[in-house]
Amino acid sequence: MAAKTAAKAATAVRNLKALALAPRPAKGGLIPEAFVPGLGNVDIGIADVGSWPGPVELTVTGWGFSTPTPFLILVHPRQNQFTDNQDNGFPDQFATQVIKTDFDSITILITRIDPDAEGEGWGQDLEVDILVVE
C-alpha cells in the first residue's frame, strides 16, 4: 500500500502541569508548581487531535521548555476523555512519533496502524496525553 502524506495541524496544550527542581530560566516562562527530586523539569499535558482522513503531523504549542530538545517525551493516544469516555468498540490502533521539538512546541506524527486500515483515517475524537522530562 502506498504511504499517505500526513496532513499538518496545530493545537495548544491543555491541562498543562509543570513540576520542577528549581525555577526555570526566563526563556521557559513557566513558574514551577512543585519539585520532583531526581527527575528535573517534568511537564504533562493533553492535546486534542480530533478525527482525520489519514496520518496527521500535529504541532502542540504552549509548553515553555527550558531547552529546545527535552530529554524524554512520551506520547499516548486515547479516545477523548472529555467528550466520549466509553468503549465504542473501535478497532483503531495508533503509532505516534515525535519528529520535532522547540522551546514552545512538540511536533508529533500520528498514524493509524491497525490491520486492514493502516495509514487510513479515523472518525473518533482522538487526543494525546504527553509527558516530558527535560
Q: pLDDT tens digits for 73-94?
A: 999 999 888 888 888 888 899 9
Containing H/E element for 129? strand 122-133
Q: How far is CA 100 from the centre of its chain?
A: 12
pLDDT at 102 over 70: yes
pLDDT (0 to 100) of residue 56: 96
pLDDT (0 to 100) of residue 42: 85
Q: Are 110 and 126 in contact (CB under 8 A)?
A: yes
pLDDT (0 to 100) of residue 106: 97
Q: How many CB atoms lie within 10 A of CB 70?
A: 21
pLDDT at 34 over 70: no
Q: Are 22 and 32 in contact (CB under 8 A)?
A: yes
b/e map of 78-96 (b: 16 or more CB within 10 Å)? ebeeeeeeeeeeeebebeb
Domain ranges of the chain: 7-133
pLDDT digits 0-9 by tens, 110-133: 999 998 888 899 988 999 999 998
